[in-house]
Structure 1
Amino acid sequence: MDGKWFEVKVITKSEAIEPISGIFYGLDVKGVAIEDPEDINIKQKDKLSWDFADVNIFEFGADAAVVKGYFNENEKIDEIIKYIEEKIDLIKEMGIDVGRGIVTTSDVFEEDWATSWKKYYKPLRIGNKILIKPIWEDVEVKETDLVVELDPGMAFGTGTHETTSMCVELLEKYITESDRVFDIGTGSGILSIVSSKLGAKEVVGVDLDEVAVASAKENVAFNKISNVEVLHGDLVDVIEGKANIVVANIIAEVVVYLTSIIKPFIDKDGYFITSGIIRERKEDVLNALDKEGFKVIEITEKGEWVAIAAKPM
């Protein structure tokens, strides 16, 4: 980044971080930063060394999360703000608590941007094996750790949100070394990379967002893995054959739609792992799975979010 940029800030709550981040990635955003008070809870439970000394994480209150997007100074910022506000209203209609949902903007400069990521993203352990490591961080790695290196400045999906961590934990439980995995709505590529690290033989990540696809490919390269392919497009148009596991960390509405088309892509002994489901929509997803002939194997919940593992019948 060079010169002056616009920082657009949304003051929200932890449960709305992923859908609001998704709004930014539907625009020509140059990066997204997240400040989440839930990270403090993660820190207290984790043995890794976290440094929040220069992060004013509670600036807007103990339960307020902040999502920031960065835009070129040549962008029509008023139109961007209006668009974001309209999308936030749609998120509210889905039953997701966006908290204050306030949108503000300010000017930032290259030197501000250069240090912002190191303030907000630190190493994180998920499940029994996975260690999420920002590429610039030095961290003590255990013999049993499977390290996933990410640049959160380039991609959405850092592992800190409940939906992502639950998907990782379910993948850790169900993946075997001979598996083929489809990751629908791959975002940063985190679940594709995790699948590879857990021993999957082949992984295909798919996303409709070109920015996400580019970011996922970068993150795959950071991890020096050759069995992950990232594709741009819709599931039915770009993927061929079946997978042993299909994972989708998306919103409930999309999950319900996926249940109606996903079965032909899953091996008869395979699994459909999904999250991004707000608790209020849990029954909608369960009903859709039942209607389409899936047997629910496991349901996990964290905070306001739900993850489900199911098998085709």
Structure 2
Amino acid sequence: MQGKWIEVKVITTSEAVEPISGIFYGLDVKGVAIEDPNDIASREQGPLSWDFADSNIFEYGDKAAVVKGYFSQEEDIEKIIKYIEDKIKELKGLGVNVGDGKVIHMAVFEEDWATSWKKYYKTLKLGKRIVIKPTWEDYDKKDDELIIELDPGMAFGTGTHETTMMCVELLEKYVDGDDVVFDIGTGSGILAITASKLGAKKVVGVDLDEVAVDAAKENVNFNNLDNVEIKCGNLVEVVEGKADIIVANIIADVIVHLTKIVKPFMKNESLFISSGIINDRKEDVLKALEDANFSILEIREMGDWVAIVSKIK
């Protein structure tokens, strides 16, 4: 069944994809799709049933990323566009590189795009043992694999993005059975669930986005976990206690801010795993960590993205 929708797109950068997606999620959006030349898999995660081979991802330049939101015809589109433009200005004020930041809209026809994106999302193995399996797919477990049942819905985190891949690999390397893990900006809950599957004693996932919190809670239930708690809000407002590992797969600017406030939630030997850092912002994050008296233990790079493991000196 086909319907007519209003497509609103923002021409931006890889760095700003997540916060701009968050702007859409704050509205009565019917779906969000992402085209990012630095994350080719993102073209296969959107909610639309287009032919990706015919989609010109480089229409706005080979470094531009595009975030698209879909709204019903009954919505006040001009009001929505004004809201998005104002929020983009706020991001610029926070130092986020939004690139062009241009907002465009047009009417489109799509066929059941709210669910058809699922055909592009397949079972994926990360690291040595972690298997991310869509809830609607069958998979035969092999050897010591750890299966994570996931339906990301409209939340960030399917496992296909390089930043998520690196975080999963680092959790696999560092988590042990006595650890308490905090996942900041949990999104779909993929990293919180991974930490639990790897044997963490307790996991707390936090996100400001209510849509993400609902998705994460559902995914925790899909995996029948009783040691993962998902909370809506800011780390400093909703989380108590100290963690052995804090993982934050967000954006560089938020990580820079976290370096100033995260220590009260860390034990003396705690690890801070940060990712979502575009290569161009690597030195900014390293400097912020060093200024906050963190020592750098490990730096990983994948594509145009960076993950950093640090601890308090």
TM-score, scaled to structure 2:
0.83
Q: Distance in 1 between matches of 2:202 and 2:54?
A: 39
Farther off after superposition, 178-187 or 67-76: 67-76
Q: Matched residue of 1:191: which SS? A: helix
User: What residue number does 2:165 align with?
Assistant: 165
Q: CA deviation at 1:272?
A: 0.5
Distance 1:27 1:88, change over 3 A: same
Q: Matched residue of 2:300: which SS? A: strand
Q: Is the 8 A contact 1:117 1:152 kept in 2?
A: no
Q: Distance in 2 between matches of 1:150 and 1:192?
A: 12
User: What residue number does 2:156 align with?
Assistant: 156
Q: Is the 8 A contact 2:252 2:276 kept in 1?
A: yes
Farther off after superposition, 140-149 or 193-202: 140-149
Q: Matched residue of 2:261: which SS? A: coil
Name the count of aligned residue pairs: 304
Q: 5+ unaligned residues in a row in structure 1: which ranges?
A: 43-51
Distance 1:262 1:107, change over 3 A: same
Counterpart of 2:56 (choices 32, 56, 59) is 59
Q: Is the 8 A contact 1:279 1:305 kept in 2?
A: yes
Q: Is the 8 A contact 2:37 2:57 kept in 1?
A: no
User: What residue number does 1:106 align with?
Assistant: 107
User: What residue number does 1:215 align with?
Assistant: 215
- Divergent runs of 4+, >6 A: none
Q: Distance in 1 between matches of 2:3 and 2:55?
A: 29
Query: Does the alignment pair 1:263 with 2:275?
Result: no
Q: Matched residue of 1:240: which SS? A: coil
User: What residue number does 2:232 align with?
Assistant: 232
Farther off after superposition, 249-258 or 151-160: 151-160
Deviations 1:190-248 (A, max 9, x none): 11111111111110011122222112111211222111100111111211111100111
Q: CA deviation at 1:273?
A: 0.6
Q: Is the 8 A contact 1:85 1:103 kept in 2?
A: no
Distance 1:98 1:117, change over 3 A: farther
Distance 1:293 1:147, change over 3 A: same
Q: CA deviation at 1:183?
A: 0.7
Query: Does the alignment pair 1:69 with 2:69?
Result: yes
Distance 1:294 1:149, change over 3 A: same
Distance 1:237 1:134, change over 3 A: same
TM-score, scaled to structure 1:
0.83
User: What residue number does 1:142 align with?
Assistant: 142
Opposite residue 265 of structure 1, the aligned amino acid is F
Q: Distance in 1 between matches of 2:186 and 2:255?
A: 14
Q: CA RMSD in A?
A: 3.2
Q: Distance in 2 between matches of 1:168 and 1:200?
A: 13
Q: Distance in 2 between matches of 1:225 and 1:101?
A: 42
Distance 1:11 1:229, change over 3 A: same
Q: CA deviation at 1:122?
A: 2.5
Opposite residue 138 of structure 1, the aligned amino acid is D
Q: Distance in 2 between matches of 1:61 and 1:118?
A: 24
Opposite residue 193 of structure 1, the aligned amino acid is I
User: What residue number does 2:180 align with?
Assistant: 180
Q: 5+ unaligned residues in a row in structure 2: which ranges?
A: 43-48
Q: Is the 8 A contact 1:246 1:271 kept in 2?
A: yes
Q: Distance in 2 between matches of 1:304 and 1:101?
A: 23
Q: Where do residues 8-47 of structure 1 align in structure 2 (5 Å cutoff)?
A: 8-10=8-10, 14=14, 16-36=16-36
Distance 1:95 1:236, change over 3 A: closer
Q: Matched residue of 1:236: which SS? A: helix
Q: Distance in 1 between matches of 2:35 and 2:283?
A: 30
Q: Matched residue of 2:160: which SS? A: coil
Q: Matched residue of 1:260: which SS? A: helix
Distance 1:162 1:3, change over 3 A: same
Q: CA deviation at 1:67?
A: 3.2
Q: Distance in 2 between matches of 1:120 and 1:91?
A: 31
Q: Matched residue of 1:56: which SS? A: helix
